[in-house]
Chain A
Amino acid sequence: MNTIYALFPVLIIVAASLLVMILEVFLKREDRSYLAYISLLFLIAAAAGCVKFWDKGYSYFDGNLSLSNLSLFFCFILIIATFLVILISMKYLTLQNANYGEYYVLLLFALSGMIIMVSSSDLIVIFLGLEVLSLSSYALAGLRREDEKSNEAAVKYFLLGSFASAFLVFGIAFLYGATQATAIPSIVEGLQSGSSFGTLGLVGLGLVVIGFGFKVAVVPFHMWTPDVYQGAPTPITAFFSVGPKAVGFAVLLRIFIPYFKDALESQLMFGLLWIIAAITMIAGNLIALRQTNVKRILAYSSIAHAGYLMVAILAQDTQSLVFYLTAYLFMNIGAFAAVIALGKKDHEYLELEDYKGIGFRYPWIGATFAVFLISLAGFPPTGGFLAKFYVFSAAVRQGLVSLVIIGVLASLVSVFYYLRIIIYMYMKEPSYDVEINIDNPSLFLALFLCLYGVLQLGIFPGNILVLISQAVAALPF
């Protein structure tokens, strides 16, 4: 149905960011936490909108923005992700001297960009959303102005990000040249009908893969990830590791799952993504073994997870992909939340050495962190186990046996470095005192919510799976 309601989620988020921007001027520095509360309220409203529009199929701008169930589901998890990120940021910002009002503004703008991306099937509109997301992200990465690493992260992200965006636009232009369309369904149809511009279309698709491959951080477009993740403020790292990855895969799945239906025509692209998935899983996990900085470990781990998600695209199984993303959201934000919990005024504990004996000193933080790590490593009864199980079994069903063997072996390697953190937390005597700021209720709420999410998805995933299958059923193709 063509109705302006389709704009509701985007509009409410934009309205929130504008409101926060204005209010910031009038608020004293120590009252800035009100901005967070306002943002949270608006996020809840937007999430309620997503729930209300379920099964309604609203669209606007001639269908350029359309809230299919799948879009709504993505919107919903992105809103949850932002919600959790705000919860883990509140205290962090004051502690790390980064309590700028534009923090929330930029975060909300980034979210609005992501919502545009997941609710459109036109590459131009998607690009628009991507740029909204990207520009906000660059600024967010450099938010700790006095910190060299943070500045470095912002510049790196900006330069390489623009690089990737350029390839993406280039790719969209090629695709338009080949198929005279910018809407994904028409592009896919055009490519499959075997027009005379086959090569042109192929190159276009390749360039689009590069553009999004950068966002989701697959090898070899991953080089920025560790540095940016390490330099950015930790809650923003959590945001980067989840948000852009989710939208990137949301777009890739819209393009490639219908495209792969025609196995003969898509053979080359399939092979390409196969290679990318394989090297991403291998390289991501292998390099992570060598890291001693927890944020860098999690950065390489998120690269490896992009590889597993790529396997889901190749398995052409939307359901397992979406489930994986949902589980990944909770466990990854949870892991970063635990890292943030180990911080005090002007200092964060990020080296493995710092984690010695944490499990006994701070039993709750240690235990929840351990659960998230176990989930990332793919152990039952957590969501991470089920997600991996689901993706790999779908892949085997598609006959991708060798890729699954690579994936299973790569995730075997991953156990080493996840376990290493747990070993440090529980099996080593601390060599010095780690003082942390315990007075952080919103962070603990976030930790709890993530823990709940990970266990709910691992033990009682039934309802969410039903929801996802509804979302997938309403796919526009």
Chain B
Amino acid sequence: MTDYFWLIPFIPALSTLILVLFGQKLPKKYVSFQACFAVFASFAISVISFIGLLQTSHEHLPIIKNLFSWIHAGSFQADLALQLDPLSSIMTLVVTGVGFLIHVYSVGYMADDEGYTRYFTYLNLFTFAMLILVMGSNLVVMFVGWEGVGLCSYLLIGFWFDKHSAANAGKKAFIVNRIGDAAFLLGIFFIFTHIGSGEFSVINAAIGGGAITQGLATLIAILLFVGATGKSAQIPLYIWLPDAMEGPTPVSALIHAATMVTAGVYMVARMNVLFTFSGSANSLVAIIGAVTAVFAATMALTQNDIKRVLAYSTISQIGYMFIGCGVGAYAAGMFHLFTHAFFKSLLFLAAGSVIHALSGELNMQKMGGLRKYLPLTYPTFLIGAIAIAGIPFLSGFFSKDAILTSAYANGQYLVWALGIFCAVLTAFYMFRLIFLTFFGNERLEPEAKKHLHESPPAMTIPLVLLAFFSIVAGYVGLPVVVGKDLNFFGRFLEPVIHQAHEVHLSLGTEWMLILISIAVAVTGIFIAWVFYIKNPKIPKNIVARFPGLYKLLYNKYYVDEIYNTLFVNSTIKGSEIVYDHFDLKVIDGVVNGSAKTTNFFGKVLSYFQTGYIKDYALIFLLGVILLLGYLLF
């Protein structure tokens, strides 16, 4: 049943090709049908392959399909090969499953947009690139997908490029990602140099066989992780994700919540042998994850743009996933990725439905009391919020708990404490969002109120389905307290995730941890209720009491400004200096300084009156002198 798994990425690719070539001539209805169908077909094959994988014994894993030998020259080899193993199988299910629902949702959301065909072309192209990323059997293929999703993300963020901010946001995302990619690429080079292959199986075997030292492993792992911080929006490269919200909302749901931004987590899980071997790289991952989680959550507290709250929340939740990976619980990290894909895309799509209902309003201060107008959006939104807040029996609770329990069990108490603190913040800002949007008095613009309506079925049906999965997805990985061996998710991943050592906590401790996380979630919600329902004056008082802190948070710690001054401006400055001073001025200096030479050349060259040739010749001569000077002295 796994024979045709390699077709999964190529169906969206084919669809993209058709849309690129003939898209403008095809009717709108057909375009959306084809785009959705292509992803659905991929989803169907993913499901079949998944079932096939369940029946395959561990010795036959991973199943590799070598499409053709891509680069074969000397010691440098890479095949265009796809692989199916539990990890890639889960990712394909998420990408195509959630992707399909978002495609369907887009049919309704983008219905009146001029760039309808262009939109679906990009979306299919993205699906293709993302599938290549998760299915590649070596680092080079993975990198190709990695760059591909970056490119699509750029195209889709800047989709409404006539909006200046959108074009800029796209550029920012692209360039920040390139910084991470540069480090990622260096890491790949090191692996090729010291292991001689980019195939994951070979790398894992080589590390097991002691091909590289621990120090080198740490270096490589950190380089790869820097790549992950770019793609997955972690400190220090997270700044692009909030701006990326300029793109259409379904794109935010697909790319900037469910799939692409979690690619970094996938990559770290894929390279788990390396990270575990290094040890210190793992600690770094955990700490960066924990700090990012809290840092981003604090920024979410003060935002008024509904999508930006969700964007910071995504950064924060990915921080959790990295905590999981960093403490060695890769399966838990992947589990959170899995559940997060459902509830976060649900939240985004529901937010999109709200925005759609209000004719494009993003500011939560201008919403309120929408509960009764949006009878389907409201409950689904609420389910998403409960899931992410970590209330028991919904998916987010189980995955978050698995991560925090592992952190505690591995003795990373600081990381655990940060995680718990972040959980309070999460519950608070999510319910702040819910209360501001759906409760309280109506603060709508009169114009928006006139058109207020629930969204069409193409949009609400995906919401309902995602809400369903946000509830049940957690039950594939139940904690030990419920019963032994109920963590199907973890066991399924075992062939890929090489557990170094598993620490078991006593059942009492496990219960305690669970109760703590439930308590903090409830506390967070309660505070939000007090602040925004019971006594709406409190937030204003707090702002008045701590204006500095509020300003700091509201301006997102001024990180953008700092980066601008430090990096962007200095690069531009550097360019100016090199161009103005080196290419133009230094030469003048040399000319003035060495009158004799100038005269000599001046006589010869002034005849041509070009003005600059003498300078060029002089810099040439300067180069000669420096070069010979270097060689001789």
Chain B residues with Cβ below 8 Å from A392 are 185, 189
In the complex, B417 has a CB within 8 A of chain A: no
Chain B residues contacting A429 (CB-CB under 8 Å) are 162
A412 smallest CB distance to B (angstroms): 5
Query: Contacts A155-B608, A223-B619, A286-B578 known; A380 to B148 CB distance under 8 Å?
Result: yes
Selected contact of A210 from candidates B151, B615, B624, CB within 8 Å? B624
Cα distance, A380 to B631, chains bound together (Å)? 40
CB contact under 8 A between A462 and B619, given known A159-B605, A396-B189: no
Contacts of A409 in B (CB 8 A): 182
B440 to chain A, nearest CB (A): 39
A95 interfacial contact with B, CB 8 Å? no
B153 → chain A, closest Cβ, in Å?
13
Chain A: minimal CB distance from B179 (Å):
6
Chain A 365-389 interface 0/1 with B at a Cβ cutoff of 8 Å (1 = within): 0000000001000011100011001
Q: A206 within 8 Å of B by Cβ?
A: yes
CB distance from B118 to the nearest CB of A (A): 10
Q: How far is the CA of A416 from the CA of B608 in the complex (A)?
A: 37
- Are B144 and A380 closer than 8 Å at their CB atoms? yes
A462 touches B71 (CB 8 A): yes
For chain A, residues 386 to 428, give those with C-beta under 8 angstroms from any C-beta of chain B.
386, 389-390, 392-394, 396-397, 404-405, 408-409, 411-413, 415-416, 419, 423, 426-427
Q: Are A408 and B578 in contact (CB under 8 A)?
A: no
- CB-CB under 8 A from A164, the residues of chain B are 620
List the 10 closest pairs (A to B, CB-CB), nearest first.
Answer: A220-B623, A427-B161, A223-B616, A396-B189, A380-B144, A465-B73, A289-B575, A286-B575, A408-B182, A427-B167
Residues of B with C-beta under 8 A to A199: 632
Closest to B170 in A: A427
Using known A-B contacts A393-B193, A396-B190, determine if residue A461 contacts B608 with beta carbons closer than 8 Å.
Answer: no
With A159-B617, A160-B617 given, can you name 10 additional A-B contacts, CB distance below 8 Å? Answer: A206-B627, A206-B628, A268-B631, A269-B631, A272-B627, A272-B631, A283-B578, A409-B182, A415-B174, A415-B178
Can you list 25 A-B pairs with a CB-CB distance of less than 8 A? A155-B613, A159-B605, A160-B617, A163-B620, A164-B620, A206-B631, A220-B620, A221-B623, A272-B627, A282-B578, A287-B578, A290-B579, A379-B151, A380-B147, A390-B71, A393-B188, A394-B76, A396-B186, A396-B190, A408-B185, A426-B161, A427-B170, A460-B70, A461-B70, A466-B72
How far apart are the CA atoms of A392 and B190 in the complex, in Å? Answer: 10
- Considering only residues 130-164 of chain A, those with a C-beta below 8 Å from chain B are 152, 155-156, 159-160, 163-164
Partner of A416, one of B151, B175, B186: B175
Residues of A in contact with B (beta carbons under 8 Å apart) = 152, 155-156, 159-160, 163-164, 167, 199, 202-203, 206-207, 209-210, 214, 219-221, 223-224, 227, 268-269, 271-272, 275, 282-283, 286-287, 289-290, 319, 374, 379-381, 385-386, 389-390, 392-394, 396-397, 404-405, 408-409, 411-413, 415-416, 419, 423, 426-427, 429, 459-462, 465-466, 468-469
B152-199, CB < 8 A from A: 158, 161-162, 167, 170-171, 174-175, 178-179, 182, 185-186, 188-190, 192-193
Nearest residue (CB) in B for A468 is: B73
In the complex with contacts A287-B578, A380-B143, A220-B619 CB distance below 8 A = yes
User: What residues of chain B lie closer than 8 Å to A283, measured between beta carbons?
Assistant: 578, 582
Assess the B630–A397 pair: CB atoms within 8 A.
Answer: no
The answer to whether A415 and B148 have CB atoms under 8 Å apart is no
Interface residue B51 (Cβ < 8 Å from any Cβ of A): no
User: Within the complex, which residue of B73, B185, B610 is in contact with A466, where a contact is CB–CB below 8 Å?
Assistant: B73
Nearest-Cβ distance from residue A22 to partner chain B, whole angstroms: 34
- The contact size tier of chain B is 35 or more
Interface centre among B69, B148, B189 (most CB of A within 10 A): B189
A300 to chain B, nearest CB (A): 9
Residue numbers in A under 8 Å from B162 (CB-CB): 429
Q: Are B613 and A160 in contact (CB under 8 A)?
A: yes
- Bound-state CA distance A459–B68 (Å) is 10
Of A269, A286, A379, A408, the contact of B574 (CB 8 Å cutoff): A286
Contacts of A390 in B (CB 8 A): 71, 76
Known: A286-B574, A286-B578, A389-B185. A163 touches B71 (CB 8 A): no
A412 with B179: CB separation less than 8 A: yes
Decide: A462 and B72 in contact? CB cutoff 8 A: yes
Looking across the interface, which residue of chain B has its beta carbon closest to that of A317?
B74
> Which residue of the partner chain B has the closest CB to A272?
B630
B14 at the interface (CB under 8 A from A): no
A283 CA / B577 CA spacing, docked (Å): 10
- Given known contacts A379-B151, A462-B70, is B619 in contact with A287 (CB within 8 Å)? no
Q: How far is the CA of A176 from the CA of B116 in the complex (A)?
A: 69
Does the CB pair B616–A404 fall under 8 Å?
no
Contacts of B161 in A (CB 8 A): 426-427
Q: What is the bound-complex CA distance between A219 and B586, given in angstroms?
A: 14
- Please state if A220 and B70 are interface contacts (CB–CB under 8 Å): no
- State how many angstroms separate the Cβ of A429 from the closest Cβ of chain B: 7
Known contacts A160-B613, A287-B579, A415-B174; is-contact A465 B71 (Cβ 8 Å): yes
A residues less than 8 Å from B144 (CB atoms)? 380-381, 385
For B175, what are the chain A residues with a Cβ–Cβ distance below 8 Å?
Answer: 412, 415-416, 419
Q: Closest residue to B143 on the A side, CB-wise? A: A380
Q: Which residues of B are found within 8 Å of A393, using beta-carbon distances?
A: 76, 188-189, 192-193
Chain B residues near A405 (CB, 8 Å)? 186
Does chain A have a CB within 8 A of B3? no
Q: Which of A156, A404, A468, A469 contacts B610 (CB 8 A)?
A: A156
Q: What's the count of A-B pairs with C-beta under 8 Å?
A: 158
CB distance from A305 to the nearest CB of B (A): 17
Please state if A469 and B612 are interface contacts (CB–CB under 8 Å).
no
Residue of B nearest to A213 (CB): B623
- List chain A residues, Cβ under 8 A from B179: 412
Instruction: Report A-chain residues with C-beta under 8 Å of the C-beta of B571.
Output: 286, 289, 413
Q: Given A163-B620, A206-B627, A379-B147, A462–B613 Cβ distance below 8 Å?
A: no
**Residues in A neighbouring B619, C-beta threshold 8 A:** 220, 223
* CB <8 Å contact, B579 and A396: no
Distance in Å: Cβ of B114 to nearest Cβ of chain A = 11
Quick check: is B476 within 8 A (CB to CB) of the other chain?
Answer: no
Q: Are A465 and B147 in contact (CB under 8 A)?
A: no
Q: Report the Cα distance A275→B629, complex, angstroms.
A: 14
How far is the CB of B414 from the nearest CB of chain A, in Å?
32
Q: Please, which residues of chain A bring their CB within 8 A of the CB of B178?
A: 412, 415
In the bound complex, do residue A286 and residue B192 qualify as a contact, i.e. CB atoms below 8 Å apart? no
B576→A290 contact, CB < 8 A: yes
- Beta-carbon contact of A160 and B616 below 8 Å: yes
Contacts of A286 in B (CB 8 A): 571, 574-575, 578-579
Q: Which of B73, B605, B632 counts the most chain A CB atoms within 10 A?
A: B73
| Minimum C-beta distance from B141 to chain A (A) | 9
Q: B572 within 8 Å of A by Cβ?
A: yes
* Cα(A290)–Cα(B571), bound, Å: 11
A319 to B75, CA, bound (A): 11
Contact between A462 and B68, CB atoms less than 8 A apart: yes
* Closest residue of B by beta carbon distance from A167: B624
Distance in Å: Cβ of A141 to nearest Cβ of chain B = 13
Q: Does residue B560 face the partner (Cβ distance < 8 Å to A)? A: no
A97 CA to B143 CA, complexed, in Å = 47
Q: When chains A and B are docked, how far (Å) is the Cα of A154 from the Cα of B221?
A: 52
A411 to B182, CA, bound (A): 9
Least CB distance, B596 to chain A, in whole angstroms = 18
Q: Is B552 an interface residue (CB 8 A)?
A: no
Q: How far is the CA of A159 from the CA of B613 in the complex (A)?
A: 8
Question: Is B622 interfacial (CB-CB < 8 Å)?
Answer: yes
Q: Closest residue to A276 on the B side, CB-wise? A: B627
Segment 589-633 of B: residues with Cβ below 8 Å from A: 605, 608, 610, 612-613, 615-617, 619-620, 622-624, 626-628, 630-632
CA distance A302 to B461 in the complex (A): 53
Residues of B within 8 A of A460 (CB): 68, 70
Q: Are A220 and B631 touching (Cβ within 8 A)?
A: no
The answer on a CB contact under 8 Å between A156 and B613 is yes
Q: Is B583 an interface residue (CB 8 A)?
A: yes
Partner of B72, one of A282, A404, A465: A465
